[in-house]
């Protein structure tokens, strides 16, 4: 008797791939750029103390030995206090699902919780930073509510921000300031065709790269030529060293 395809409906099964598909996760930077304080056990509040910055010191006409000088400056301290906030997420998984399912539900739930908490913490840090008083707006605007579609991130605005940080003597990351931006802001910045914009910077960078590449090639050829002459000189000295000779040693001034 011939076997029909319809007869296999209750026999053939679906195979579930054990490896689950990954969810796209954003690149998180705020937590990485910050300093993570270590809190000893038994404390739930952190304080950072800071001394006031003194102004320029005035010169004196003379200082008498053995005489205590009068106070010319006053130093104080300020304190910033923060209490950590706890975030909780709970996932319930039945014992039957853990026993009968071929998927790693515990591992999947742990990763999903970790990713969610990482996004939450980074978003909270971003919100705290954006609530600060030192804010620069594009398009000469004075508030976020006034920003329109044409107020985009530009190279002059980045230069102005760097200048402002230098004015405040803000420390750098290995000599550079770091900007965290949304991909849409990066698009506006990189597609700008205005004078002095990203395209001009990219063109200059390409010329500098070509200049460095060409000069490195020239230097490498000079080095190879020098190396060849040096090696030939060494071989020549090895040849004449078998015979008595006089060596003169001098100092190059």
* All structural domains of the chain with their residue ranges: 193-241
Mean pLDDT by 10 residues, the chain (253 residues): 62 81 84 82 89 82 75 83 88 91 90 92 88 84 85 86 89 85 85 73 59 50 48 45 33 33
Q: What is the pLDDT of residue 119?
A: 92
Q: Residue 201: its pLDDT value, please?
A: 66
State the DSSP string of 13-29. -PPPPSSPPPPP-PPP-
Q: Which structure tokens are listed for 90?
A: 């709970």
Q: Which residues contact 44 (CB under 8 A, 6 or more apart)?
A: 83, 84
Q: In the prediction, which pLDDT does 25 show?
A: 85
CA 184 from centroid of its chain's CA atoms = 18
Residues 133, 54: Cα–Cα separation, whole Å: 22
Q: Are strands 46-51 and 77-82 parallel, antiparallel or unpaired?
A: antiparallel
Please give the pLDDT value at position 204. Answer: 56
How much is the pLDDT for 115? 92
Nearest to 29, CA basis, from 163, 110, 121: 121
Q: What are phi and psi of 162, to 5 degrees?
A: -65, -40
pTM of the model: 0.64
């Amino acid at each position: 008797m011939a076997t029909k395809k319809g007869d296999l409906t209750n026999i053939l099964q679906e195979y579930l791939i054990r490896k689950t598909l990954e969810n796209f996760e954003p690149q998180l930077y705020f937590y990485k750029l910050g300093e993570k304080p270590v809190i000893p056990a038994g404390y739930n509040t952190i304080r950072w103390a800071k001394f006031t910055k003194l102004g320029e010191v005035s010169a004196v006409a003379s200082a008498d030995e053995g005489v205590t000088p009068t106070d010319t400056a006053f130093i104080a301290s300020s304190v910033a206090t923060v209490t950590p906030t706890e975030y909780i997420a709970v996932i319930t998984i039945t014992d039957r699902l853990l026993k009968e399912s071929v998927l790693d539900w515990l591992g999947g739930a742990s990763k999903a919780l970790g990713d969610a908490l990482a996004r939450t913490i980074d978003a909270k840090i971003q919100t705290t930073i954006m609530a600060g008083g030192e804010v620069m707006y594009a398009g000469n605007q004075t508030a976020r509510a006034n920003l329109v579609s044409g107020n985009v991130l530009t190279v002059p605005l980045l230069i102005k921000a760097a200048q402002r940080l230098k004015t405040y003597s803000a420390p750098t990351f290995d000599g550079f300031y770091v900007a965290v931006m949304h991909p849409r802001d990066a698009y506006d910045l990189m597609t700008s065709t205005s004078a002095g914009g990203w395209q001009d910077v990219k063109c200059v960078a390409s010329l500098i790269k070509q200049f460095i590449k060409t000069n490195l090639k020239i230097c490498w050829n000079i080095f190879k030529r020098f190396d060849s002459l040096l090696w030939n000189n060494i071989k020549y000295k090895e040849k004449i060293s078998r015979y008595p000779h006089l060596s003169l040693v001098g100092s190059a001034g």
